Structure 1
């Protein structure tokens, strides 16, 4: 099943692609590789989800923030490529989680994005190499920031 058809089957409506808030491009395509800049969690009201895991956010709230971030990343891909069906596979995912020193469940948080990509692109094409890291600060106090590399059709 195509990624676009899978979105419809899952009842997922993508938000508008987020606009850059600095001097960078949200996506850069080189040959058959698409590099997505770090995206943050933007809710349906276009408000950034802020907080610190282990302090004022639990794993479930972090998971939801990572899923929102994944939706924004899919919107960026779709906007730039014209269709998610041009994605061959996710190659690498890097997730940063704003958290307390003692918080150690970063992978469970980033699963919010990873599981979304798996559901949209399939078990093989949607699951990639991944790192999930904790950090003490992210821009604007956002809970997570995620970047990715995709192989696409040229």
Structure 2
């Protein structure tokens, strides 16, 4: 008889992670939408625990390591929206897709390494199978509010 898998909500606590307050829509969109057994999120920015936003252009104002941390913060914001929308992270079966936008200079080419900040978080929380989905890591010259990173995601629900 196999052991019951650990609750995603409990695993979050075990990892010592706390979620920021779920972001509130400030324009004409929903932070997340459930259609059938899929939950899709809007773009989430790297908000720190004190409510400040991680800003700047990778390769110009800051470095890859800081970008990795910003992507992780975006992932925590996505998880906060999921918990708020679904009531529990335990309703998530698996990650389907991550789209990661990295505000970067023309000569910065480590967008995938930055995106790993979120990807590694989701693997730690959901596991090596369910935490890995498809992914795009895209460099851009500008993001809303000068955010370093913006991430949107899609999840399959149980």
TM-score interval, smaller chain? over 0.9
Residue among 62, 69, 72 paired with 2:74: 69
The residue number in structure 1 matching 2:62 is 57
Work out the number of aligned pairs and report it: 153
The residue number in structure 1 matching 2:50 is 45
The residue number in structure 2 matching 1:30 is 35
> C-alpha distance in 2, partners of 1:16/1:142?
18
Give the TM-score normalised by the residue count of structure 2: 0.95
Which ranges of structure 2 fall in alignment gaps of 5 or more residues? 1-5
Question: CA RMSD, aligned part only?
Answer: 0.7
Q: 1:98 offset after TM fit, Å?
A: 0.2
> C-alpha distance in 2, partners of 1:99/1:15?
25
Residue among 3, 8, 22 paired with 1:3: 8
> C-alpha distance in 1, partners of 2:61/2:18?
28
> C-alpha distance in 2, partners of 1:143/1:83?
28
Structure 2 residue matching 1:104: 3-state secondary structure: coil
Structure having the higher Rg: 2
Which ranges of structure 1 fall in alignment gaps of 5 or more residues? none
What are the equivalent positions in structure 2 for 1:1-154 lying under 5 Å apart? 1-153=6-158
Give the TM-score normalised by the residue count of structure 1: 0.97
Q: 1:5 offset after TM fit, Å?
A: 1.5
